[in-house]
Amino acid sequence: MTWPQIRARLRRLRRLPRRRTVKRVALALLLVVVVPVVAAAGALRASYAGAPADDAVTRGRDAVWLGHAWVDGRRSEKDLAGLKQRVAGTGIRDLYVHAGPLEHDGTLPASAYRGARRLIDAVHRELPGVRVQAWLGDVVAHGSTDGLKLGSAATRDAVVASARQVLTAGFEGVHLDVEPVSDGDGGFLALLDSLRPAVRSGGGVLSVAAQQIDPLPSMHAASRAFGGRKWWSQGYFAKVARRTDQIAVMSYDTALPWESLYGGYVAQQTRLALEVTPTGTDLLMGLPFFHTDDMGHHGSAETAAAALRGARLGLTREDRHRERFGVALYVDFAATEGDWRAYREAWGKRGQ
């Protein structure tokens, strides 16, 4: 039912006697709101059903987000030994180490990542083959709000300069996490158009943290009408993916209340992302390695195990043999042993 049809129906209801009007309004709300929600829940449960393929396992292209403590002196050699033990024998290839945040003008003080060289050297020694990327982020300005102004050429140039700066410091890539980016934002695409060649010329890879894809057609437009910017259209996601070497979907904070719904949602997100991500771009699905409880995230529902099963199901159904696919674990300092165990057991090591 379209919004013009809904408005026409409500106008007709206003002409009915009051008692009948109340009943009709209740029925209209049931048809317009409740029924689609129930249908969507059923679809997500169905997406979570079935068994993933046995070979829907790690391709050795996984990543983990690491907190700022790794570059500000709070993490020790003992912590690195613990990290080595956790990632040994897994598909972890990239470490997104928080090296920011960016200033609102796009600049980055060198003091923000003063311990980076020590960490990078230690990772190369203890975890050969694992890359260390600089995780750079900031809140995006919208209207009168403070933040990164993506529409400003000077701000974009400053972000590119900051990327060159961290590559000179020894990082092997830039993981850009600026949010929320509105669907269709041309400033963000312009930034990526400048950033990718700059990062590549410095010998690095460009990775981007991506917002979720519309679970329903035009959901991004409806969300924006109420002040939200949670979702991107599939078309805009494709434009971002084409401008990156690696794209990691932040497939958590969904507000879904049950594991089966959340797992089905991740399966759906995986399918939608696979449909439009170029085969030359690494696609990673973000996993919740944190356990806060609020309106947007229910820890009992958004589990690592459900996300992994959902990602495996989506991969199995859409592009089972895709090589450039992985998962990204968010975030190291909130992860439990159970999260790491779920990752190892469900996603495992290739060949197991």
Two structure tokens written together for 275: 């449909």
**What letter does residue 136 receive in the DSSP assignment?**
E
64: left (phi over 0), alpha (psi -120 to 50) or beta: beta
Two structure tokens written together for 242: 């084409």
Q: What is the pLDDT of residue 286?
A: 98
Whether 266 is in a domain gets the answer yes
Residue 337 domain boundaries: 60-346
Whether 197 is in a domain gets the answer yes
Domains identified in the chain, total number? 1
8 Å CB contact between 326 and 284: yes
Q: What is the pLDDT of residue 35?
A: 40
Per-residue pLDDT of the chain (352 residues; tens, 9 = 90+): 444 444 454 444 444 444 444 444 444 444 433 345 555 788 999 999 999 999 999 999 999 999 999 999 999 999 999 999 999 999 999 999 999 999 999 999 999 999 999 999 999 999 999 999 999 999 999 998 899 999 999 999 999 999 999 999 999 999 999 999 999 999 999 999 999 999 999 999 999 999 999 998 655 455 554 456 889 999 999 999 999 999 999 999 999 999 999 999 999 999 999 999 999 999 999 999 999 999 999 999 999 999 999 999 999 999 999 999 999 999 999 999 999 999 999 998 654 4
Two structure tokens written together for 234: 């599939």
Helix orientation angle between 304-318 and 35-47, rounded to the nearest 10 degrees:
80
Whether 255 is in a domain gets the answer yes
pLDDT tens digits for range 298-320: 999 999 999 999 999 999 999 99
Q: CATH number of the domain at 167, please.
A: 3.20.20.80
Whether 327 is in a domain gets the answer yes
Whether 143 is in a domain gets the answer yes
pTM confidence score: 0.88
Beta carbons within 10 angstroms of residue 181's beta carbon: 23
How far, in Å, are 90, 114, 166 from residue 98 at the CA level?
22, 12, 11
**CA nearest neighbour of 156 among 195, 207, 113:** 195
Distance CA 86, CA 31 (A): 49
Whether 94 is in a domain gets the answer yes
Q: What is the pLDDT of residue 41?
A: 84
Whether 69 is in a domain gets the answer yes
Distance CA 326, CA 307 (A): 12
Q: What is the pLDDT of residue 2?
A: 45
* H-run or E-run covering 179: strand 173-179
Q: What is the pLDDT of residue 349?
A: 64
pLDDT tens digits for range 205-254: 999 999 999 998 655 455 554 456 889 999 999 999 999 999 999 999 99
Q: Which residues 6+ apart lie within 8 Å of 292 measured at CB? A: 299, 334
Whether 303 is in a domain gets the answer yes
Burial of 306 (0-12, 13-18, 19+ CB in 10 A): buried
